[in-house]
Amino acid sequence: MEQKLGKKYLVYLYLLLGALAAFPPLVTDMYLPALPVMTAEFHTTPSAVQMSLAACILGLAAGQLIFGPLSDKWGRKPLLKSALILFVIATVASIFSPSIEILNIFRFFQGLGGAGGVVLSRSVATDCYSGRELAKTLAIIGAINGIAPVTAPVIGGLFSEAIGWKGIFCILLGIGVILYLVSIPFRESHSPEKRYKGSLTSLFSQVTELLKNTAYLRHVLVFGMSNAVLFGYISSASFILQNDFRMSELMFGVLFGINSLAIGFGSMLSLKLRQISNASRLGCAGMLLCSLLQFCNYSLGTGILGYEILVFVMLFSVGMVFTSATTLAMTEGKAMIGWASAVVGATGFLFGGIVTPLVGLGTIQLSTYCVMGLCSLIALSLSFKAGKITVAAV
């Protein structure tokens, strides 16, 4: 049953959930342009500095598996505030880290705190809405989740040369403080009577019951595979555009930003289909088709125009899958909202982390299209086994 919310509070809630959804990608990606400078500053190797990214992604995955289920027992607001406080403390510690090893430890806790925002944004949306309204809210969250990872490095690139990596971390610190202050008026969405009454041990064993729900699991895997396609693009785009197509850093940043809009457009279009399961299938088919056509583009030497058109359509398709698969998964797992949101988010980061090094094997374009094609094919086959949820067109 949807909660009745005033118009002003509804606007506030949309803004808060959107900001929380954008938070983790900013934490992971915004400082990426500064990695070479950090390598020199800490007198270490590139791989040691790259571990700071891996540590943060690990924290983001683990944090969702902690904050999600705990919010089922103790409520969304206390866990949200705790997560943001943890992020602020970890960010301050990161700024003053004396070595790369210490920084990597605090980056893990930074990711842990940042995870609370994105996992609770889905949980709160599912608390408050169902059906079409849930799909609409998750479309906004899904669009931001997709756009933020590809725009964060562009934002970081604009600031990294002027203020350095510590300056970027200061910006992240400011965002964390602002989010904490903005979250104060948030009204608890998970009422005490609906909270889990068992022990913590039984709470964390609940996930086994959730994973027995094959329909839920299929939607989660579809989301994870679409996230893998997105991360395959993110991790390979700079090498393909700058090395293979000789594009300047400025033009790369501009094109990267333009492409991010396709995810938002796809998320919104998924709401126009009455059966949201059809949006999932259509999006998966689009990802697969674009991956196959990229092979043709590469073989025929069509060049950057063909590559860019296919990338834009592919990211549009990714946006469709983000919204539809998340809505379907959260609807199937509504009996355990915190866990349902946690598993969705952790799976997305896990699959993205697995794909990132794979696209660098061999010829990067061929490796990237192979990974994208395989993930898209798996997603498409799973989407045809999924159930149907009917939503009115928006």
Q: What is the pLDDT of residues 321-338, one digit of tens each?
A: 998 999 899 889 888 888
Assessment of whether the complete model's pTM goes beyond 0.85: no
Give the pLDDT band (50/70/90) at residue 261: confident
- The string of DSSP letters for 114-135 reads HHHHHHHHHHHHHHH--HHHHH
Domain membership flag for residue 392: no
Q: Which domain holds residue 367?
A: 7-383
User: What is the rounded distance in angstroms from the CA atom of residue 12 to the CA atom of residue 16?
Assistant: 6
User: What is the rounded distance in angstroms from the CA atom of residue 243 to the CA atom of residue 237?
Assistant: 10
Domain membership flag for residue 314: yes
Domain membership flag for residue 1: no
Domain membership flag for residue 249: yes
Domain membership flag for residue 87: yes
Q: What is the pLDDT of residues 147-190, one digit of tens each?
A: 676 677 677 777 777 788 899 899 999 999 999 999 999 999 98
Domain membership flag for residue 108: yes
Percent of the chain with pLDDT over 70: 92
Q: What pLDDT score was predicted for residue 149?
A: 65
Helix (H, G, I), strand (E, B) or coil at 78: helix
Count of structural domains, the chain: 1
Backbone angles phi, psi at 364, to 5 degrees: -65, -40
Domain membership flag for residue 2: no
Instruction: Supply the CATH number for residue 299's domain.
Output: 1.20.1250.20
**Contact criterion met (CB below 8 Å) for 338 and 206:** no
